[in-house]
Amino acid sequence: MVDEAQKMGYDVILHENEKVPLNYEELGCDVLVQLDMFSHNKPEDFRNLKFVQALMVGTDKQPLEKLKSMNVMYSSLKGVFDKPIAEFVVMRILDIYKHIRTFEKEQKEHSWSKRFDLLELSGKKAAILGMGHIGVETAKRLRAFETCCDGFSRSLKNAEAFDNAYKIDTLKEKICNYDIVIVSIPLTKDTYHLFNDDMFRAMKDGSVFINIARGGIQCEDALYNALKSGKLMAAAVDVFEKEPLDPKSPLWDLENFFYSPHNSFCGDKNDETTAKIVLDNLKAFIEGRKINNLI
């Protein structure tokens, strides 16, 4: 991307390690392409900043209000990770429904034992929290399996991609109807620990919980209780309130807990799609045109 940006007229400074604060020259930049730069640099230390291109989708750790007060535009990387995450969600559901963990264990033991309790996605009902790009791509794939997909959000945008669409504040009263609950909403003060003991108790007995959004949306103690008690059939969790997950967490040892290390977004097209979004926005900025994915 560096060569392409330079051809557009940018004077590019590469800062290899985001954990190292920027120097005086770097803090004079007009445009910042970053993943986690604001964990080690204050927005007010930038002297000329006008545009931030994020290399992530989530904004819960970004100083958006401060940047807004400084008249700095902020664009997310929305559109890069939707498909790999949606595929990961479907993989995890099938992993659970088809008892793949059992067969892998038997392979290691060189044992042979059939299971006749495998489940089908056909006819199941899924609640997808978040009707943005990830939610839509997930619904597309699950509906191909003849799964009913209902969306929950504040705005109800993209409602046509779902069988039904509901306001997120109705979730608790409706959540008992779903075999699968998929979390793909942002972490905010309203969604922090949305899935607590009460919400898990309200879920359908034997349902599946999947979180590929942010760890703070689930209370891990409540999740452990729901799994340990058998209230949930299983949970597939890619994100945690504190990462990495504490080696002493009791979740590790639960047979119905499916862990991944915040890895669901990865795909072989990530770099290509990221470069296109970033370069398109850099070109739009330098030409004074509209920037995509502005927050």
Task: Tell me the pLDDT of the chain averaged across its residues.
Answer: 97
Q: Report the alpha-carbon distance of residue 57 to residue 155 in Å, rounded.
A: 18
Report the phi/psi class of residue 83: left, alpha or beta, with left for phi > 0 and alpha for psi in -120 to 50. Answer: alpha
Residue 154: predicted pLDDT: 96
Map out the domains of the chain as residue ranges.
2-79+269-286, 82-255
**Mean pLDDT, to the nearest integer, of 130-141?**
97
Residue 249: predicted pLDDT: 98
**N- to C-terminal Cα distance for the chain?**
23
pLDDT, tens digit, for every residue of 198-251?
Answer: 999 999 999 999 999 999 999 999 999 999 999 999 999 999 999 999 999 999
Q: pLDDT > 70: what percent of the chain?
A: 100
CATH fold for domain 2-79+269-286: Rossmann fold (3.40.50)
Residue 94: predicted pLDDT: 98
Which pTM was predicted? 0.92
| 130, 153 Cβ separation under 8 angstroms | yes
Confidence of residue 2 (pLDDT cuts 50, 70, 90): very high
Backbone phi, psi, residue 262, to 5°:
50, 55
Q: Domain 82-255 is classified in which CATH homologous superfamily?
A: NAD(P)-binding Rossmann-like Domain (3.40.50.720)
What residues are paired with 75 via a beta bridge?
53, 294
